[in-house]
Structures are given as structure tokens and as C-alpha cells.
């Protein structure tokens, strides 16, 4: 009996990319960045900016290492800092 070849449908990839079609074709004049914003300035005097809101996540854990091997005793839920920008206008 001949081997059957099965065809699999390609896995659907859910894209996490956000596209900005409004800036397609624009010519970049300069890019500026600091700890709070990334700004892309275009030659037509428009700007695409990204306001940054860094957050901290802490993973608390109690561990025993008396034997030389780290042994987890208890883990707590992750603690996340509050975002400074609570709501986008």
C-alpha cells in the first residue's frame, strides 16, 4: 500500500504588529528619542510619535538554598507597577 501524504494547512500567525498606513510614502527627516518618547519627523513637517510608559514587574519567590541547590518554597503572583498613562485620550 502506498504511503499517504497528508497536507497540513499552514499555521495561522496572529500578527502583533501595528501598521501606520497614514505615513506610507512619507520621507523621514529625522528621528528623536528620549526616555519618554520616540518621535519620527517627516519632511512634510508631520510627526509620528510613540509615548513610552515603562513598567516594572516583580516576581516574588521564597527559596531555600541550604543544600547548595535553590529549592523554591513559595511563589507569589507577579506585582506590576501602575502605568503612568492610565487612559489614552
pLDDT tens, the chain, 89 aa long: 555 565 655 555 567 899 999 999 999 999 999 988 999 999 999 999 998 888 889 999 999 988 888 899 999 999 988 877 666 65
What distance in Å separates the CA atoms of residue 83 and residue 52, rounded to the nearest whole number? 10
Per-residue DSSP letter, 21:
G
What distance in Å separates the CA atoms of residue 51 and residue 83, rounded to the nearest whole number? 12
**Which among 77, 72, 43, 42 has a CA at the least distance from the CA of 60?**
77
Global pTM value: 0.55
Amino acid at each position: 500500500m502506498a504511503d499517504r501524504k497528508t497536507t497540513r494547512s499552514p499555521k495561522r500567525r496572529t500578527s502583533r504588529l501595528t501598521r501606520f498606513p497614514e505615513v506610507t510614502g512619507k520621507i523621514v527627516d529625522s528621528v528623536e528619542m528620549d526616555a519618554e518618547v520616540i518621535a519620527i519627523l517627516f519632511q512634510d513637517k508631520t510627526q509620528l510619535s510613540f509615548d513610552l510608559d515603562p513598567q516594572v514587574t516583580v516576581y516574588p519567590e521564597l527559596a531555600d538554598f541550604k543544600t547548595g541547590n535553590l529549592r523554591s518554597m513559595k511563589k507569589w503572583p507577579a506585582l506590576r507597577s501602575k502605568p503612568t498613562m492610565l487612559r489614552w485620550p
